[in-house]
Copies of this chain bind each other. A is one copy, B any other.
Amino acid sequence: MSPVTHSPVSQKQLQELYYKNLTLTKEDLKKAVNEDQLIVQAIANITELDKVCNLLSKRLREWYGWYAPELSREVEDHQEFARLVAVGEKKKTESFGADLKKEDVQEMIFLAEEIMHLFALRKRHEEYLKIVMQEYCPNLLELSGATIAAHLLEMAKGLKHLALLPASTIQILGAEKALFRHIKTGSRSPKYGVLFQHPLVQKARAKERGKVARALADKLSLCARLDFFKGELKAGEYRKELEKKFEVKN
């Protein structure tokens, strides 16, 4: 047999090929970013902001405690606490706190203002999430709210995968630790993961929560499929069904 003869490739042709390949790769990369990624980034950021707000609020409480220890005890909510410090909530005359100079208190006020900013940013991100989801997965958004829906997408690694998951898996997304403990040690299987945060589950009696979570996961699975295949809006219907089934009074 005679060896296969290649037609000679010129330097110029090679270079052309190289640039063509580069352009295609770039286009593919650009297309690789879709709503899934944006949602996952936004929810990761919200989670981080929650942590940061918590850290700084604790610092503020300790610091401000030297000046007006009573306030921290009276106001439990971090955001409200920061607001009161920022607006210069007058300290009570019978306070046990030290009489600090204006400059000393001013630093605490700066910190409080910063914390308020961070809370505002968190809220803004949530609004943004809603807008993205309204377009991308309206059914999921409607039935589970922005935060839970984003967590589900994050854990399932995208809408496509979420749509392919069985409802029983959706039910325990976010409870992986308990699930593996169940598999390894035979302890009870988890009844819910991130769905625990859902108002329907929260409102249910403790004994019924597993049942509610299962029904909710069923409907969410349907929602994910509707959203992925750009189907109609049925989440409102599902919600009413669930509320009727578990007799939730609004």
Interface residues of A (CB under 8 A from B): 26, 29-33, 37-38, 41-42, 44-45, 48-49, 51-52, 55-56, 59, 62-63, 66, 96-100, 103-104, 107, 110-111, 114, 117-118, 121, 124-125, 128, 131-132
Contact = CB atoms under 8 A, between A and B. Distances in A.
Contact of A66 (B33, B62, B103, B121): B33
B110 A114 contact: no
A185 to B, nearest CB: 34
Nearest to A41: B63
B110 A33 contact: no
Q: So how many copies of this chain end up in the complex? A: 2
B128 A121 contact: no
Contact of A96 (B26, B45, B96, B121): B26
A107 B42 contact: yes
Contacts of A38: 66, 100, 104
13 contacts: A30-B96, A30-B97, A33-B66, A38-B104, A41-B66, A48-B55, A48-B56, A52-B55, A107-B124, A107-B128, A111-B121, A114-B117, A114-B121
Given A30-B99, A41-B66, A45-B59, 19 more contacts: A30-B96, A30-B97, A30-B98, A33-B97, A38-B66, A38-B104, A41-B63, A44-B59, A44-B62, A45-B111, A48-B55, A52-B55, A103-B128, A107-B124, A107-B125, A107-B128, A114-B117, A114-B118, A117-B117
Max chain B CB contacts within 10 Å: which of A42, A52, A62, A121? A52
Contacts of A125: 107, 110
Contacts of A103: 128, 131
A38 B64 CA distance: 10
A114 B132 CA distance: 22
Contact of A124 (B26, B41, B110): B110
A188 B100 CA distance: 45
Contacts of A98: 29-33
A29 to B, nearest CB: 5
A26 B92 CA distance: 13
Contact of A45 (B26, B33, B63): B63
